[in-house]
Amino acid sequence: MFRQAGNYDCEQREQMRGGEGTVTLQHYFKKEEFGGSHFRVCAKLILPPGSSIGLHPHEQEDEVYIVCKGTGTVTDDAVTEQVKPGDSVLTGKGKSHCICNTGTDPLEVIAMVVTY
């Protein structure tokens, strides 16, 4: 399946997972398009300056963040790190994480969630 750039289903979530502000999700592919796969999410998350996704656990699933643009902080399993383009984070096995845009530009992150 091919999808041209900019031709994505988008949604906005206010105070996502208890975070601040509004996060835009650009779905590259939705769960039902994977055909029985264990993928739950394959999307770009766009966090405006000052916005965040609140602390949340990943039980029976893993989530990967790949930072594409902007800067921020990620707390993963109680450890907080600065993130920039090219950085990646893997959270799962019951661990929790959150992400915050601490920069002045939008923070863009590819997110993939795989269940097991």
In a domain, 3, yes or no: no
Give pLDDT, residue 44: 98
In a domain, 96, yes or no: yes
Hey, how many other C-beta atoms are within 10 angstroms of the C-beta on 86? Answer: 8
- Number of domains within the chain: 1
Rounded CA gap, 92 and 1, in Å?
A: 28
Rounded CA gap, 63 and 65, in Å?
A: 7
Give pLDDT, residue 19: 98
In a domain, 2, yes or no: no
In a domain, 71, yes or no: yes
Which pTM does this prediction carry? 0.94
Q: How far, in whole angstroms, is CA 1 from its chain's centroid?
A: 22
Domain that holds residue 110: 9-115
Q: What is the CATH number of the domain that holds 84?
A: 2.60.120.10
The one-digit pLDDT tens for each residue of the chain (116 residues) are: 999 998 999 999 999 999 999 999 999 999 999 887 899 999 999 999 999 999 999 999 999 999 999 999 999 999 999 999 999 999 999 999 999 999 999 999 999 999 99
In a domain, 1, yes or no: no
Rounded CA gap, 63 and 111, in Å?
A: 7
